[in-house]
Amino acid sequence: MSSTLLFRGGRAFTTGGFAEAVLVRDGVIAAVGAEADLVRLAPGAEPVDLGGGLLAPGFTDAHIHPVQAGLERAKCDLSEVYGLDAYKAAIGAYAAKNREKEWIDGGGWDMAAFPGGLPHRSQLDFLDRPAYFVQRDHHAAWVNTRALELAGITADTPDPADGRIERDPDGTPSGVLHEGAMDLVGLLTPRPTPADVDAALMDAQAHLFSLGITGWQDAIVGSYAGSDDQLPAYLSAASSGRLKARVVGALWWDRARGAEQIPGLVERRAMAEGLDRFRATSVKIMQDGIPENFTAAVIEPYCRCGGTGLSYVDPALLGGYVKELDAQGFQVHFHAIGERAVREALDALTGTDPANRHHIAHVQIITPQDVPRFAEIGVTANLQPLWATHHLQMDELCIPYLGEERASWQYPFADLVRHGARLAGGSDWPVSSANPLEAMHVAVNRTEPGSSVHATYPTAQTPFLPEQSLGLRTVMTAYTEGSAWINRSPAGVIEAGRPADLVVLDRDPFTLDPKDIWTARVVMTFLDGEQVHG
């Protein structure tokens, strides 16, 4: 393509509204305005016909796990099928095709496919090898009897401090390992080679480009839940120029250690200094788990089963760690799902420097009194909108155990906006689809997009707490300007002087019935004016 491009024939999504055309010169947005004016400004520009669609800033995913996703796509990927029979068929076919593998491993199974959210080891015992399958949300693993035997896990094995071994009534491990217990088997599985990890990163980058995503924040860069450290792969890809996306790595906070790890994090950050496409300037602290397995940290006990979940980092120490990271200039990227974890994160971030752009991801449950604190403290709410629907996992594994009042506090996106909170958008892929348009659909409608495996669930098209829905402009801004701001990226906005990180949609979602937002598709993606997809 020419170094001068004129995007025309549709509308461009800008901070102030919509523009008729956008001129790009040498990878930078040169002008935004009326098509006739831009033609006069650059009569020789190569036209890029939008075909009546929408030109938007490239999307930035503020919470994602691309390397894990790429590795899972190369293994036995269960994310595209649903239900025990389908899982067993896919696993059996994969095992037959890969007879040389010592382990059968992969991921993507959905808790909602099993009674009580729990598969059993016996369902994988048809395999002649040990098996290890990570749950879709990466908070549990499903293993067979052979894998438990190799790991030496018996009825006498204690639960780790940050996890739980699911057990049969007689105490025998049932085959599900929650949270920190995943490592008991996960670390025994064959390690991917550097070439495997590199290929996974490149595969993930291509997939994300196809969805219009031109930048992201990798939410765990380090060794976690059986996964190896991804930092070497990012450094290699960025140094060689193969990493084209704008990426920030959130370095993993080892919850078994304390402040003594901070000098090591500073050293790891320095390893990426000087790289154009990758910086390791954020630190990820996972403060709790998820409500489906009762590890999300809540204030009042769960209904029916009791318990208040887990705070992975001692709240009495958390504030000190965060203040020290803040003083070192790190951004802190929290995982907090339960209302107690959200409060602990907000407490820890109180008094920190807003210039470090700290954010809390997931924010599934927030007490009404804590909602205003995001804006008061200067903390961004990092939303994963796809989860805010009546899907099977929500209706059967969350709401009954949260109780009516606490269930009504879930995903309070509109309340956050009303109180002035800054928003960013992310997917948590491979936990859920990386498609930003599907996430925007949910944020607007609070119903499942038609592309979802849960779209035909009886209540999937009943809006979930519809008073918390967002306008399309608000959520698209979160996925563009908001997430780019989190990453200190110069992109994310269509205005003169910004990098030409752009995405072309086949239709303008602002002209569609809101129930059809999910049908919009990416046809072209550009990074610095270079076409990287389409």
Residue 531 confidence (pLDDT) above 80: yes
Q: Where in the chain is the domain with CATH 3.10.310.70?
A: 102-187
- Whole-number pLDDT of residue 438: 98
Query: How many Å apart are CA 276 and CA 272, to the nearest integer?
Result: 9
Locate 330 and state its tokens.
């790190």
Q: 32-46, 134-148, 366-380: which range is least confident on average?
A: 134-148
CATH of domain 4-58+500-505+516-533: 2.30.40.10
- Whole-number pLDDT of residue 136: 83
- Whole-number pLDDT of residue 281: 98
| Average pLDDT of the segment spanning 361-389 | 98
Query: How many Å apart are CA 14 and CA 54, to the nearest integer?
Result: 11
Beta strand 163-167 with 46-49 is unpaired
Residue % of the chain over a pLDDT of 70:
100
pLDDT in tens, 280-326: 999 999 999 999 989 999 999 999 889 999 999 999 999 999 999 99
pLDDT in tens, 113-137: 898 889 999 999 999 999 999 998 8
Residue 424 confidence (pLDDT) above 90: yes
Q: Where in the chain is the domain with CATH 2.30.40.10?
A: 4-58+500-505+516-533
457 band by pLDDT with thresholds 50, 70 and 90 = confident
3-class DSSP assignment, residue 192: coil
141 band by pLDDT with thresholds 50, 70 and 90 = very high
Q: What is the DSSP letter of 143?
A: E
- Whole-number pLDDT of residue 514: 98
Closest CA to 294 of 388, 195, 426, 159: 159
H or E segment to which residue 401 belongs = helix 399-402
262 band by pLDDT with thresholds 50, 70 and 90 = very high
DSSP letter for each residue of 2-47:
-SEEEEESSEEEETTEEESEEEEETTEEEEEE-HHHHHHH-TTPEE
- Whole-number pLDDT of residue 137: 80
Query: Between these two residues, 454 and 160, which has the higher pLDDT value?
Result: 160
- Whole-number pLDDT of residue 455: 83
H or E segment to which residue 200 belongs = helix 194-210
- Whole-number pLDDT of residue 283: 98
Alpha-carbon dihedral sign for residues 293, 299, 305, 310: positive
Q: CA dihedral defined by 226, 112, 284, 480, rounded to 10 degrees?
A: 130
What is the 3-state secondary structure of 205-261?
HHHHHHCCEEEEEEEEECCECCECCCHHHHHHHHHHCCCCCEEEEEEECCCCCCHHH
- Whole-number pLDDT of residue 162: 84
Q: Tally helices (H) and strands (E) across the chain.
A: 18, 24
Residue type, 334: F
How much of the chain is in helix, strand and coil states, percent to nearest 5? 35, 25, 40
- Whole-number pLDDT of residue 218: 98
Q: Where in the chain is the domain with CATH 3.20.20.140?
A: 194-491
Say if CB 161 and CB 203 are below 8 A apart. no
Region for 269 from its dihedrals, namely left if φ exceeds 0, alpha if ψ lies in -120 to 50, beta otherwise: alpha
351 band by pLDDT with thresholds 50, 70 and 90 = very high
| 311-313-317 Cα angle (round to 5) | 120
Query: How many Å apart are CA 37 and CA 182, to the nearest integer?
Result: 60
Locate 277 and state its tokens.
């496409």
CATH of domain 194-491: 3.20.20.140
Residue 258 confidence (pLDDT) above 70: yes
| Average pLDDT of the segment spanning 503-507 | 98
Residues 6 or more apart whose CB falls under 8 angstroms from that of 237 comprise: 198, 201, 202, 243, 278
Residue 1 confidence (pLDDT) above 70: no
- Whole-number pLDDT of residue 79: 84
3-class DSSP assignment, residue 355: helix
Closest CA to 75 of 48, 93, 53: 93
Q: Give the mean pLDDT of the chain.
A: 96
267 band by pLDDT with thresholds 50, 70 and 90 = very high
H or E segment to which residue 283 belongs = strand 278-286
Residue 163 confidence (pLDDT) above 90: no
Beta strands in 50-200 (DSSP E): 54-57, 59-64, 76-77, 104-109, 131-135, 140-143, 163-167, 173-179
Residue 259 confidence (pLDDT) above 70: yes
H or E segment to which residue 524 belongs = strand 522-527
CATH class of the domain whose range is 102-187: alpha beta
| Matching residue, tokens 């009791």 | 306
| Packed helices 66-74 and 194-210: angle between N→C axes, nearest 10 degrees | 110
Say if CB 370 and CB 344 are below 8 A apart. no
Of the chain, the end-to-end C-alpha distance in Å amounts to 13
Q: What are phi and psi of 52, to 5 degrees?
A: 80, 5
Residue 222 confidence (pLDDT) above 90: yes
Residue 435 confidence (pLDDT) above 70: yes
pLDDT in tens, 54-87: 999 999 999 999 999 999 888 999 988 889 999 9
Count other C-beta atoms under 10 Å from residue 406's C-beta. Answer: 21
